[in-house]
A and B are shown apart, each in its own frame.
Chain A
Amino acid sequence: MKEYINQGNNDTRSGFGDGLTELGRTRPDVVALCADLIGSLKMQTFIDENPDRFFQIGIAEANMMGIAAGLTIGGKIPFTGTFANFSTGRVYDQIRQSIAYSNKNVKICASHAGVTLGEDGATHQILEDIGMMKMLPGMTVINPCDFNQTKAATLAIADFEGPVYLRFGRPKVANFTTPELGFEIGKGIMLQTGSDVTIVATGHLVWEALEAAKKLNDLGISAEVINIHTIKPLDEEMILNSVEKTGCVVTAEEHNYLGGMGESIAGMLSRKHPTPLEFVATDDCFGESGTPAQLMEKYGLNKDSIIQKVHEVLKRK
């Protein structure tokens, strides 16, 4: 098995902040907007270095999305920053009409996605955002797994023409990806090769999937682990090649199973290669207050849940 070393826990939102800082230095066409959450989105360095290219919109997310759409006219590449909940559900129609349908080159950067936002509770813990965003024609949806990958994704989307939803989170989690793994929008990353089961994971669940694969290996089960950071467009080829070999799949994400990455994979497989599949995802419910670790455990979003679902799906082969 390949060994992945945690280079030190760090938050994905800081990966975004670092990426934005780098873009500030290298890309004069990149501008940033924020709806009163500069600290949470780690945007301060970009602002200090590029005060003219930053727009504090205030607590007015609908206006932020419209202004971002307008800024593209004249060649700017706007990066909007707020929590995932306020980046999507609150402003769905603004994104739909002024950004997606109008095909504007806006990068919607969304922090604090999922239950790991923690103590603030369900009003802020969106578990439906991937679904909303992937349903918009022309929208690219990316959910990186650690600090390094979030930074790589932030840089990559600046070079990509078209609207993007970039989803990341609040807690400090294992930072384990390396430059050698690469980052290409729309391409999955093969983290472990295996033969008994395919585990496809995105976001915070990728490290959990690697941990689960280690335990499964001890139990004599060979798990292939694929990191899907780009949920739309989906790397169908990598998933199909894997399930042809393993014959079953577990998907893992910090999102409702309805509308999530797992649903996209299930839909694709049912059309192209029907395969037993189990979801590690929230079960059509809202979150609640608690620590990130407590919530991941309670809502079945950790390595133990992945192992349990692997056992279930293996019985269905």
Chain B
Amino acid sequence: MTENVSLENITTQVRRDILRMVHKVNSGHPGGSLGCAEFFVALYFVIMEHDSAFSMDGKNEDLFFLSNGHISPVFYSTLARRGYFPVDELNTFRLIDSRLQGHPTTHEGLPGIRIASGSLGQGLSVAIGAALSKKLNNDPKTVYVLMGDGELQEGQNWEALMYAAGNGVDNIIATVDLNGKQIDGSTEEVLSLGDVRQKFEAFGWDVLELNQGNSLELIIQTLKQAKSRLGHKKPVAILMKTEMGNGVSFMMHTHAWHGKAPNDEQLATALSENKETLGDY
């Protein structure tokens, strides 16, 4: 597919951006960022009807909220590559006086960011509020939110899940990045999430599963399917299995790269696996 070849190129460039950003400041979270590169590209380049002339209110456009703010590198790269701010600004990630803070924030006025996130478990509530605001405004567009699986350990998510289902908030699609890993190890070891699908369904959500969350084609298909299920008095969730560190051979199948930057040699290896496509910043 011509469309997907091009999307593949964008994804590869987003991976390069992520790797170079965290390498430069020797900090940040490459693992989860790489795992969600395809999701962000699918969302921002195919699915969402949005305006890169940014307005905080985002009326009559689709909105996206990132709850697990530590994967800011993929968010920043995607926003820059989509035209929200100059690609060169990725150079300032985590540096003093930058709009690209370690975790996303509205505080520095970076276009594309509508809420601060980093302290986990808050994004779903905010997204529900934005979805309710759209309903009051008779705005037919959709609110998307991405959450990590580890952050489901935060209780606020379950308050929000209960609220959205109990009140038929049916203009929201919540995607959970099920990479099965968190800082201290696997989610199974740290605190088992149990059967996430059964839990979401028991709370009243319409749940779709996406077992290949690093396939652009399947992500697009699933997001389209999710969208077609909106408007039926039920919030929609996508449980998306991803591979942390996807696209970089030595970063996959381990939680070691959750919050660790590659050294010079590792960066060279990682970049050799992801050749420049759109031009580095």
Q: Report whether B126 and A74 are in contact in the complex, using a CB–CB cutoff of 8 Å.
A: no
A63 to B128, CA, bound (A): 9
Q: Report whether B156 and A73 are in contact in the complex, using a CB–CB cutoff of 8 Å.
A: no
Residue of A nearest to B58 (CB): A73
Q: A68-B129, A74-B133, A102-B106 are in contact. Are A97 and B116 (CB under 8 A)?
A: yes
A173 to B137, CA, bound (A): 40
Contact with A along B113-139 (1 / 0, CB 8 A): 011111100111111111111101101
Q: Which of B107, B116, B139, B160 contacts A63 (CB 8 A)?
A: B160
A78 to B107, CA, bound (A): 20
A71 to B59, CA, bound (A): 12
Q: Which residues of B contact A71 (CB under 8 A)?
A: 129-130, 132-133
Q: Which of A76, A78, A102 contacts B115 (CB 8 A)?
A: A102
Q: Which residues of B contact A101 (CB under 8 A)?
A: 105-107, 116
Contact with B along A66-105 (1 / 0, CB 8 A): 1111111111101000000000000001101110011110
Q: A62-B156, A63-B163 are in contact. Are A31 and B125 (CB under 8 A)?
A: no
A66 to B160, CA, bound (A): 9
Q: A73-B56, A76-B136 are in contact. Are A66 and B129 (CB under 8 A)?
A: yes
Residue of A nearest to B167 (CB): A55
Q: Which residues of A contact B159 (CB under 8 A)?
A: 58, 60, 62-63
Residue of A nearest to B113 (CB): A102
Q: Which residues of A contact B58 (CB under 8 A)?
A: 73-74
Q: A62-B155, A67-B163 are in contact. Are A73 and B125 (CB under 8 A)?
A: no
A69 to B105, CA, bound (A): 14
For window 174-212 of A, CB contacts with B under 8 Å fall at: none
Name the prevailing secondary structure of the A interface residues.
helix
A58 to B163, CA, bound (A): 8
**Is B267 on the interface with A (CB-CB < 8 A)?**
no
Q: A67-B128, A67-B132 are in contact. Are A74 and B137 (CB under 8 A)?
A: yes
Q: Which residues of A contact B65 (CB under 8 A)?
A: 70
Q: Report whether B129 and A60 are in contact in the complex, using a CB–CB cutoff of 8 Å.
A: no
A209 to B162, CA, bound (A): 47
**Is B80 on the interface with A (CB-CB < 8 A)?**
no
A65 to B126, CA, bound (A): 8
Q: Which residues of A contact B123 (CB under 8 A)?
A: 66
Q: Report whether B130 and A62 are in contact in the complex, using a CB–CB cutoff of 8 Å.
A: no
**Is B189 on the interface with A (CB-CB < 8 A)?**
no
A73 to B114, CA, bound (A): 8
For window 20-78 of B, CB contacts with A under 8 Å fall at: 56-59, 63, 65
Q: Report whether A102 and B105 are in contact in the complex, using a CB–CB cutoff of 8 Å.
A: yes
A52 to B155, CA, bound (A): 27
**Is A314 on the interface with B (CB-CB < 8 A)?**
no
Q: Report whether B156 and A70 are in contact in the complex, using a CB–CB cutoff of 8 Å.
A: no
Q: Which of B63, B105, B129, B130 gathers the greatest number of chain A CB atoms within 10 Å?
A: B129
Shortest Cβ gap from B140 to chain A (Å): 13
Q: Report whether B163 and A57 are in contact in the complex, using a CB–CB cutoff of 8 Å.
A: yes
A155 to B184, CA, bound (A): 49
Q: Report whether B130 and A73 are in contact in the complex, using a CB–CB cutoff of 8 Å.
A: yes
Q: Report whether A66 and B137 are in contact in the complex, using a CB–CB cutoff of 8 Å.
A: no
A52 to B124, CA, bound (A): 21
**Is A53 on the interface with B (CB-CB < 8 A)?**
yes
Shortest Cβ gap from B105 to chain A (Å): 6
Q: Which residues of A contact B106 (CB under 8 A)?
A: 101-103
Q: Report whether B126 and A66 are in contact in the complex, using a CB–CB cutoff of 8 Å.
A: yes
Q: A52-B136, A74-B136 are in contact. Are A63 and B130 (CB under 8 A)?
A: no
Q: Report whether B136 and A94 are in contact in the complex, using a CB–CB cutoff of 8 Å.
A: no
Shortest Cβ gap from A105 to chain B (Å): 10
Q: Which of A55, A66, A97 gathers the greatest number of chain B CB atoms within 10 Å?
A: A66
A96 to B136, CA, bound (A): 26
Q: Report whether B107 and A70 are in contact in the complex, using a CB–CB cutoff of 8 Å.
A: no
Residue of B nearest to A70 (CB): B129
Q: A73-B63, A74-B58, A102-B105 are in contact. Are A97 and B136 (CB under 8 A)?
A: no
Residue of B nearest to A101 (CB): B116
Residue of A nearest to B163 (CB): A63
Q: Which residues of A contact B156 (CB under 8 A)?
A: 60, 62-63, 66, 94
Q: Report whether B162 and A70 are in contact in the complex, using a CB–CB cutoff of 8 Å.
A: no
Q: Which residues of B contact A97 (CB under 8 A)?
A: 116-119, 122
Q: Report whether A98 and B125 are in contact in the complex, using a CB–CB cutoff of 8 Å.
A: yes
Contact with A along B94-124 (1 / 0, CB 8 A): 0000000000011100000011111100111
Shortest Cβ gap from A68 to chain B (Å): 6
Q: Report whether A70 and B127 are in contact in the complex, using a CB–CB cutoff of 8 Å.
A: yes
A66 to B163, CA, bound (A): 12
Query: What are 25 inter-chain pairs, A to B, with CB distance below 8 A?
Result: A52-B136, A55-B167, A60-B156, A60-B159, A62-B159, A63-B156, A66-B126, A67-B132, A69-B115, A72-B129, A73-B56, A73-B63, A73-B115, A73-B126, A73-B133, A74-B134, A74-B137, A74-B139, A75-B59, A78-B129, A94-B156, A96-B119, A98-B125, A101-B106, A103-B107
Closest 10 pairs between A and B when the two form their complex, measured CB to CB: A70-B129, A66-B125, A74-B133, A60-B159, A63-B159, A67-B129, A70-B126, A70-B130, A71-B129, A62-B156
Inter-chain pairs besides A66-B124, A73-B130, A94-B156, 8 sampled, C-beta below 8 Å? A63-B125, A66-B123, A67-B128, A70-B130, A73-B114, A74-B137, A98-B116, A98-B122
The interface of chain A, by Cβ under 8 A from chain B, is 31, 52-53, 55, 57-58, 60, 62-63, 65-76, 78, 93-94, 96-98, 101-104
